[in-house]
Amino acid sequence: MAARPARSRIATAAVANGADSASVWREGRKRLRDHAVKRDAVIQTAARAFRENGFHNTSLDAIAAQLEVTKPTIYYYVANKEQLLFECFVAGLQPILSALRDQKSSTAPARERLNAVLRQYAQAVASDFGWCLVRAEHQDLSAPMSAQVRALKVEIDQGIRRLLKDGHKDGSIAPCDVKMTAFALAGALNWIPHWYREKQALSAAQIADAFVALFEEGLRPRAARRS
Amino acid sequence: MAARPARSRIATAAVANGADSASVWREGRKRLRDHAVKRDAVIQTAARAFRENGFHNTSLDAIAAQLEVTKPTIYYYVANKEQLLFECFVAGLQPILSALRDQKSSTAPARERLNAVLRQYAQAVASDFGWCLVRAEHQDLSAPMSAQVRALKVEIDQGIRRLLKDGHKDGSIAPCDVKMTAFALAGALNWIPHWYREKQALSAAQIADAFVALFEEGLRPRAARRS
DNA sequence: GTAAAAACCTACCAGCCGGTAGGATTCTAA
DNA sequence: TTAGAATCCTACCGGCTGGTAGGTTTTTAC
């Protein structure tokens, strides 16, 4: 084959695309050897691409290009496109799950525990993986993988319902339809990826605070509260 | 071409697939002539298919088969797949918009007007078009069409914000961050298509009532309210 | 230095699906 | 009955993209 342009010369100076995903791959001429780190980079890059263009409008070639690599390299780290989406799902759900687990060992009133979870929840959905958490379609996963993701989501839902029930018991949360309330809370938070863009006025934490305030106080003015 | 089986015999008895979309096409052997009705049927059928399988996992052949028709027939009623999605968008948004407009001529307290809108909103997203309203991706539309849809969505958002502001003035709604509150309300409702299935215990109206109750009262128990 | 393993690439395939050309059928109008 | 419009179908194309075969380069181990 005829002489093709030296690729290294281009690569070294092409890491200026915001995400430095490619820097994980090579530093200078040296080919790095950390499988786990690179695999994570693949997933993270995929998540970002999915968020921007959607799952079906993101080709593996595009993800590869973003990483300054070719398509088969991706298949070296992940079985197929479906698994790529799956990994994005779990990576996104993980922080929410751990937030729930953290609160299990707490003795604070349930309302406060709930608020803490909601705050972490907001952070999670505002992340790069937020799109996968919320907008990705289960039909794009095979049955077993879809079931796994669904199980995780159910765990989250049940966790929130439990906090609500606990709140009813300890009196920190007013009586309400647990199922509907959980859906309403999750829904409000899950909508964040639709409108939130980083480098916005408000941080994810601030959004969470605003939401928590609304959920706590309600829209109807409370009687006699002027200090 | 060799003798292919008489199609009419099959067609007459094949309308048992839940949706009677095909009955709009023929009645007996007679080929009906109402363009508008059939076009609506195409859009409605597409909406249902999108909801069940997602936009990209729904082929035009599949939609055509559902209508007991061939693919080119669809192109007789709509320019392309993109426009099909666009029509689903607007068809879904319309009832929400008209709900907002209806309330403009009302003199009730803003909180009640808001609740009325939210109720209609819930009905809309629980419909066949709910998926398109909420889950369809704007990237699947061309720039001009996407802009149109976005404009409608903005109108809805602004309408809700206005109601909140009006409520602040007339005292029927407690002071709050208007922007965040609007996002939270819309988000909670927009999440309905993710979990709601028809023939469920609760109707869309009941869901709306539960949500409205939550938004109004808030989670924190209100003082002195045992009648 | 050398063999084996790890990492990556070039080149290619094949299926799916959106879209179309052009013709057949069926209706309406007169 | 017949012209012309409306409706629908058969048959086909071509591009995009997920996925793979098989070889090449780089790194590690000894």
Helix (H, G, I), strand (E, B) or coil at A30: strand
- Which bases of chain C are contacted by protein, using any atom under 7 A from a CB? 6-11, 16-22, 26-28
pLDDT for B82-138, tens place per residue? 999 999 999 999 999 999 999 999 999 999 999 999 999 999 999 999 999 999 999
Which tokens go with A151?
A: 């199980």
Q: Of B139, B176, B221, which has the smallest distance from its Cβ to A214's Cβ?
A: B176
B185 Cβ under 8 Å from any chain A Cβ: yes
Find and give the residue nearest to D28, measured CA to C1': A33
Beta bridge partners of B30: B27
Query: Cα–Cα distance between B100 and B72 in angstroms, integer?
Result: 38
3-state secondary structure B148-201: HHHHHHHHHHHHHHHHHHHHHHHCCCCCCCHHHHHHHHHHHHHCHHHHCCCCCC
Strand C closer than 7 A to residue B65 Cβ: no
Q: What is the mean pLDDT of residues A106-132?
A: 96
Whether A213 and B140 lie within 8 Å, measured CB to CB: no
Find and give the residue nearest to C28, measured CA to C1': B33
Q: What is the dihedral of CA A141, A146, A150, A153, to 10 degrees?
A: -40
| B226 band by pLDDT with thresholds 50, 70 and 90 | very low
Beta bridge partners of B26: B31
Inter-CA distances, A156 with A94, A138, B42, B63, Å: 10, 17, 38, 35
Residue matched to tokens 């937020």: A130
* B24, pLDDT greater than 90: no
Cβ-Cβ contacts under 8 Å, A160 against chain B: none
Query: Cα–Cα distance between A18 and A52 in angstroms, integer?
Result: 14
Strand C closer than 7 A to residue B175 Cβ: no
Question: A61 CB contacts (<8 Å, ≥6 apart)?
Answer: A71
* B43, pLDDT greater than 90: yes
| A186 band by pLDDT with thresholds 50, 70 and 90 | very high
Find out whether A62 and A56 touch, Cβ atoms under 8 Å. Answer: no
Per-residue confidence (pLDDT) for residue A32, from 0 to 100: 65
Q: What is the mean pLDDT of residues A81-90?
A: 98
Residue matched to tokens 């595009």: A62
Q: What is the dihedral of CA B219, B221, B226, B227, to 10 degrees?
A: -40
Find out whether A46 and A58 touch, Cβ atoms under 8 Å. Answer: yes
Which tokens go with B110?
A: 């803003």
Query: Cα–Cα distance between B88 and B48 in angstroms, integer?
Result: 10
State the average pLDDT for chain A.
Answer: 88
DSSP state of A109: -
| B30 band by pLDDT with thresholds 50, 70 and 90 | low
Q: List, as ranges, residues 102-121 from A with C-beta within 8 Å of B.
A: 111, 114
pLDDT for B65-86, tens place per residue? 999 999 999 999 999 999 999 9
Strand C closer than 7 A to residue B82 Cβ: yes
* B220, pLDDT greater than 90: yes
Which tokens go with A133?
A: 């958490």
